[in-house]
Structure 1
Amino acid sequence: MVLPIVAMTIVLAGVSIVALSVGRFPVPFPHVIRIVGTHVLTIEDSTSQVEQNVVWLVRVPRVLLALLVGGGLAIAGAALQAVFHNPLVSPEIIGVSSGASFGGALALLFGMGSFFLVSASFVFGLVALGLLFAVTLSRERTPILMVVLGGVVTGALFSALVSLVTYVADPYTTLPAIVFWLLGSLATATYAKVLIALVPILLGTAVLFLLRWRVNVLSLGDEDAAALGVRPGRLRWVILVSTSLIVAGAVAVSGVIGWVGLIIPHLARMWVGPDHRILLPISFLMGGAYLIVIDTLARTMTAGEIPLGVLTALFGAPAFFILLRRNRERIWDSA
């Protein structure tokens, strides 16, 4: 159980060093290690001030934010796939991403600053969760299908509101900013945004990690979970709230980045199996490494910067097609 985590941590560290090194202003690997060591261990450094500024002030917060967002979306997807007993479920199914998108688009429409952009995204993400809770709340046990339908309706509502915001936005000033933000980007990463994302993402991740053995039980089905002494309804909502915190925090600082929560958990499951005690931490590490790679490609492939949502879709759509082909018989049999 420990060996895969150690291996994935080493991969994550290597990917991070490469990401800190490459770019418009390349910095040699030894210099990157010395610069990071200077700020972390307060040792003397002989590198130039320009290299220190590029690595520590520009690239380090971007790598940290990619780690938090990618890891958070991946572990949220893994937990939701266990809740809904379907490996083709992603965090977007609960509608929180659409709610957070509307909050960010609304802040951009009224020309608010970064603080209000992040705050509005997070608040409306939680509003979407509250709406889902209100739609599906009942005194009796809430079926999984009801939660899915409630998430679809909530997501559709806020997607329509986002479309309304883009319709009324000024096509020469506000609209391009809204569209670029909705496609997902880490170009404006700062240490302040890292701190903002750190609280909800790590809080939700910590709850999921503490409940990892209960997630194993819940993945067996409600009847088996109840027979083993777990309350499936209550546990499901705790997981939904935790994943919503993660998704809302991620969208608030990076915009909408799809496919990470769908593809990464499945790849991690193919490697370490369905045991969520190891699947959840591996998904977090793998998702963080994956988004760091995608973000590095986004800022180095062309003269401009490619939105992250475009690249994750280009990689995720073929992978989703392969997953759909492999699982089509089980999907149709369970319908």
Structure 2
Amino acid sequence: MEKIKKSVFLISLIAGPIICIFLSLLLGRYPLDAATVFTVIFHKLGITSASSADMATSIVLDIRLPRALLGALVGASLAASGAAFQGVFRNPLVSSSILGVSPGAGFGAALAILLFNNSFMIYVFAFGFGVLAVFLSYFIGRTYNTTPAVMLVLGGTIVSSVFSALISLVKYWADPYDQLPKITFWLMGSLASASYKDIMIAGAPMLVGIFGLMAIRWRINILSMGDKEAKALGVNLGLLKGILISSATLATAGAVCVSGVIGWVGLIIPHISRMLVGNDNRLLIPTSLSIGACYLVIVDNVSRILTGSEIPLGILTAIIGAPFFVYLLKRKAGGWT
């Protein structure tokens, strides 16, 4: 019976994002039925010779599919990174951007828009400065050749503040009619321009980061016990924290460089997953991956269907995430005391 439950659970984790991605292919201002979508996909895969209208093919393969795939990757990356950081820092308020990766990436993107206004350079600068921000946080947090969790958090707070100020400085210098709107819109987060090129560019670091977190997820349980307990068990703290932070940084920086700054995903999704499977990171990380992928695909569908113009994802995730997080806190605490 236990094996059946595990099998059903594993199938659910895999099937959830696939179902959400498929449903996103049906939804939009040009609605499609399931038969048309299947015909387009099967024809592309060479399973059937029957083809659909050129417009339907273009909508499914060129617009909706890359957007849904990228949304699933971004959501999974942010959620898994948030869950890993919450475990290692033993703090339920920690998210995937705790070490400054989002402000760093935001500054990199703003600087690239100011200097180059080229999409590829935006990816490069956003990813590079996101990684640099985490490196600076780690460097600041190192005291006496160790990296206490509280010092890492303080380092992340300092670096985030500096890069946020630098973003404001770039906005001040930017052309208010051309560059400033682009910077502002990028910082709000969006998948509107998603393409297979984005998946190719950012997919590699996101997948490497996700696989890294999955590979060490059982060791995160040891780190969550505290540094002294982990040392007593013979764990190389520096190496393990370095692998975890590097993996989470790759996943988060890869996500942010193509989607912009999307908040709350790395904060609330791990809490939802924890309510379903508990604190065991062997289950928590894969559950966060699946739910995070589903969540961002669903929110992205809402953003492009709700109004005539797309609502930036960062706005929607904050509007949904803040009250839902209050609900989670009240449910966990059984009411305010």
Aligned residue identity for 2:190? S
| Aligned pairs (5 A) from 1:111-130 | 111-130=116-135
Mapped to 2, the partners of 1:40 and 1:313 lie a distance apart of 38
Q: Which residue of 99, 108, 129 corresponds with 1:103? A: 108
1:1-335 equivalences under 5 Å are 1-325=6-330
CA offsets per residue over residues 132-151 of structure 1, 9 Å max, x none?
12212344322111000000
Which amino acid in the other structure matches residue 241 of structure 1? Answer: S
Secondary structure of residue in 2 paired with 1:92 = coil
My pick for the range that moved more, 24-33 or 56-65, is 24-33
Report the alpha carbon displacement of residue 82 of structure 1 after superposing the two structures with TM: 0.4
CA distance in 2, matches of 1:164, 1:20: 40
Quote the offset at 1:34 in angstroms: 2.3
Alpha-carbon deviation of 1:24?
1.4
Letter in 1 for 2:70: L
Task: Please give the alpha-carbon distance, in whole angstroms, between the structure 2 residues aligned to 1:41 and 1:232.
Answer: 50
Partner of 1:333: none
TM value normalised by structure 2: 0.93
Q: Contact (CA 8 Å) 1:5, 1:282: kept in 2 or not? A: no
Distance in 2 (alpha carbons) for counterparts of 1:153 and 1:134: 12
Q: Could you tell which deviates more after superposition, 296-305 or 34-43?
A: 34-43
**Greater Cα offset, 299-308 or 102-111:** 102-111
Distance 1:42 1:106, change over 3 A: farther
- TM-score, structure 1 as length reference: 0.94
Deviations 1:235-280 (A, max 9, x none): 1222111111111111110100000000001101111111111211
Shift of residue 319 of structure 1?
2.2
Cα distance in 2, alignment partners of residues 276 and 143 from structure 1: 21
Contact 1:76 1:247 in 2 (8 A): yes
Q: Is the 8 A contact 1:4 1:282 kept in 2?
A: no
- RMSD of equivalent CA atoms: 1.8
CA displacement at 1:111 relative to structure 2: 4.1
Query: 1:325: Cα distance to partner?
Result: 4.8
| Residue 110 (structure 1) shift | 2.3
Gaps of 5+ in 1: 330-335
**% identity of equivalent residues:** 45
- Is the partner of 2:290 in helix, strand or coil? helix
In structure 2, C-alpha distance between the alignment counterparts of 1:254 and 1:275, rounded to whole Å: 30
